[in-house]
Amino acid sequence: MQVFYDNPTIKGSRLTGSLKGSQQEIKISFKNLTYDEMMRIWHFNDLPYVLSVAYKVGPVYLESTRIKTTTPVKTAIFGLEPTKGEK
């Protein structure tokens, strides 16, 4: 918790992976959740509650590394139909 408090923004050389070398700034802030909000998180998949805290982190813009090949559209066919009340 102290590390996040002391370093609320991650940028520059502290970014790693696909974010390394980017101009992004990732902000980290403590998120004070209500008891009900915390219980909704921990009741997922019937997990027992564990003392925890929540943080809001973002924005993080990720570029996809997946390449999807497509073929160009060669022919497009459009049809028009009259709307109600028109002939």
Strands 9-11 and 25-31: antiparallel
For the chain of 87 residues, list the mean pLDDT of each consecutive stretch of 10: 92 86 91 89 78 90 81 85 71
- pLDDT for residue 87: 58
- pLDDT for residue 68: 83
* Contact (Cβ atoms closer than 8 angstroms) between residue 23 and residue 50: no
Both tokens assigned to 29: 């802030």
- pLDDT for residue 33: 92
Q: To which H or E segment does residue 2 belong?
A: helix 2-6
* Contact (Cβ atoms closer than 8 angstroms) between residue 59 and residue 26: yes
At which residue do the structure tokens 């982190």 appear? 57
- pLDDT for residue 86: 61
pTM of the shown model: 0.58
Q: Tell me, what DSSP letter sits at residue 36?
A: H
